[in-house]
Structure 1
Amino acid sequence: MKSQFFRMILVCLCTVFSMQLFAQADFQGQAVYDSKTSAEMPDFGDRQMSEEQKKRFQERLKSMFEKTYVLSFNRSESIYKEEEKLESPTSGGRGFRGLDMSAGAKYKNIKTNEVIVDQEFFGKQFLIKDSLPKLVWKMENESKQIGQYTAFKATAVKLASAADITSFGGPRKEDGAEKNKEENDKPKEILVTAWYTPQIPVNQGPGDYWGLPGLILEISADKTTILCSKIILNPKENYEIKVPKKGKEVTQAEYDEIVKKKIEEMREIGGNRRPGGGGRR
């Protein structure tokens, strides 16, 4: 108990020193994150797949949901985007029939309370503009070491997006239509666990996450884990934080509805291919 107390005192002193250091100049930083999301195998109706085909598809699915992202940030702004890599000839590029699994560049501005995302979906370019999503963080009495930084735990609860493509292949309840429709359409609550370090006093983080008294180094939320693997502070060359500008402008709710409808459409197509589904086989 005493060691934990002294550790917190030490971190607080380091934080004060860090804040004084960062206050001397308009500092910048960059953090690299590895993101892993587990996704369910899509249901292709009555289509038969060999074990070899299933294995190849699972490997492709894994590659689509294991990504490396880079967060470039300053005092008030950040841009979070996937690290550019050359695709292998067998990677399949896009996901299921044009469903792009990669998130576009996400710009966050703490001062203006704004988030802007450059997102492509089924060949169409969207510019999602909205207010920053807000979570009510609960500070927990736990800490751990992540690299050279002492990180503290915080938790929050958020509603899952109805347009979450990681559940594309998941089963839906069919019996008791009215009751189960409500269950299927009801947003699921997700526990979010974050680990942040006051030693880098910016309230930024990966993806949608922000609002803690220090850079968020790790996130666990439902099927996704995001972990910081590298941090660069005050580089010799400034990182350019460009605000996304291309695409059809929509709100986050409007974009979620577009994705949700497409997912439902693809589920229905799969269902109609089953015996007795009412469609062509």
Structure 2
Amino acid sequence: MKKLILYTTCLFMLGANTLFAQNKHFTTNGIIEYEKSVNMYAVFQKIIDKDNEAWLQPAFDSYKKTQPQFRKLKSTLAFGNNKTLFTPIEPEAQGNTFFLDNPMVGQNNTVQTDLNTYTSIDQKKVFESVFLVKDSVRKINWKITTETREIAGFTCRRANALVLDSVYVVAFYTDDITVPGGPESFAGLPGMILGLAIPHENVTWFATKVNEIPVDDKALAAPKKGKAVNRKELTATLTDVMKNWGNQSNIYLKAFIL
């Protein structure tokens, strides 16, 4: 009798789970609005060293008196047909442009990711030059945790990873959006990344709104302008250009290739 009750209970639970899965709504097309937040005070405190402290520290102190601590930037991510297109939105006003040449505090990339072929095309602005980086989607060894967080109306699960060997990244993704993409060139989780943080670089991206609307292939078209390179070639070019920049070279190189 006990075996019969257990068998009946298991059948009921299996049926309930199947019905839940059938009734659950999954989002496959739409446009996500993101806000990038940069802790300007922390970012620029890092570039002050003994070689530039005499002139840069007073400038930084003056900057803090008139400028907000956090810089906010907008972007969108269109998704559909297992493709994504990340597009930065140009800010209306730059305000005080001191320090804004640092690529970490701007938005230099328009990124199309094709998750069918696992390839990406990244139009990257590097000072006065524009590169078109064509390569495979960057492989990230994510470690998924049990921590969850609500973002833009979706329950998201946390995942952690290291990129570029030493840069710690925290992502929050939802499997309610089936396209496994994310902002910039971050992807590879079992759902859409709605929250992303690079703590030691003092920058985050969080979705503020998800618009579930039809998105056709034309709206997901890859950028076309720029000098064609792959990721390795771009890194070699930038390393050569910045070889005499001292401590600043590592900061700028990391920001451009993240």
Counterpart amino acid of 2:136? S
- Amino acid of the structure 1 residue aligned with 2:219: E
1:108-151: CA deviations, max 9, x gaps?
11012111111222312211111000112222122222232111
What's the TM-score once normalised by structure 2's chain length? 0.72
Q: 1:79 to 1:60 in 2, by over 3 A?
A: farther
Which whole-Å CA distance do the structure 2 matches of 1:189 and 1:99 have between them? 16
Match in the other structure for 1:28: 29
Q: Provide TM-score, normalisation by structure 1.
A: 0.66
The alignment covers a number of residue pairs equal to: 226
Residues 1:251 and 2:230 are matched in the alignment: yes
User: Unaligned 5+ residue runs, structure 2?
Assistant: 1-15, 250-258
Q: Is the 8 A contact 1:18 1:200 kept in 2?
A: no
Alignment CA distance shift 1:115-1:62 (3 Å): farther
For the Cα contact (< 8 Å) 1:140–1:152, is it kept in 2?
yes
Pairing 1:106-125 to 2, within 5 Å after superposition: 106-125=111-130
Letter in 2 for 1:201: T
Which residue among 17, 21, 41 is the counterpart of 2:24? 17
> What residue number does 2:254 align with?
none
In the alignment, the residues of structure 1 paired with residue 206 and residue 47 of structure 2 have an alpha-carbon distance, to the nearest angstrom, of 24
Once the two structures are superposed, residues 193-236 of structure 1 have per-residue CA deviations (whole angstroms, 9 ceiling, x without a partner) of: 21111222221111121122221111123423221111111169
Cα distance in 2 for partners of 1:61, 1:246 equals 34
Query: Identity of aligned pairs, percent?
Result: 21
Mapped partners of 2:191, 2:185: distance in 1: 15
Distance 1:135 1:238, change over 3 A: closer
Equivalent residue number for residue 97 of structure 2:
91
CA distance in 2, matches of 1:35, 1:147: 14
Q: Distance in 1 between matches of 2:23 and 2:80?
A: 18
For residue 18 of structure 1, give the secondary structure of its aligned residue in structure 2.
coil
* Residue deviations 1:34-89 (CA, integer Å, cap 9, x gap): 223452234483573376522345677967x6432211111311111211222346
Match of 1:266 in 2: 245
Computed over aligned residues only, the root mean square deviation of the Cα atoms, in angstroms, reads 3.6
When residues 261 and 228 of structure 1 are mapped into structure 2, their CA distance, relative to the original with a 3 A threshold, is same
Aligned-residue offset at 1:261 = 3.1
Alignment of 1:21-170 (within 5 A): 28-37=29-38, 38-39=42-43, 40-43=46-49, 45-46=51-52, 48-49=54-55, 53-57=59-63, 66-88=72-94, 90-91=96-97, 95=101, 101-159=106-164
Q: Does the 8 Å contact 1:196/1:215 carry over to 2?
A: yes
State the distance in 2 between where 1:142 and 1:89 align: 38
Partner amino acid, structure 2, of 1:17? K
Larger strand proportion of the pair: 2
1:269 and 1:107 mapped to 2: Cα distance? 29
Q: 1:15 to 1:94 in 2, by over 3 A?
A: farther
Could you list the per-position Cα deviations for residues 93-121 of structure 1 after superposition, in whole angstroms to 9, with x for gaps in the alignment? 9516x999432211111012111111222
What is residue 198 of structure 1 aligned with on the other side? 175
SS at match of 1:267: coil
Summarize the alignment of residues 223-234 of structure 1 with structure 2, pairs less than 5 Å apart.
223=201, 224-234=203-213
Counterpart amino acid of residue 208 in structure 1: S
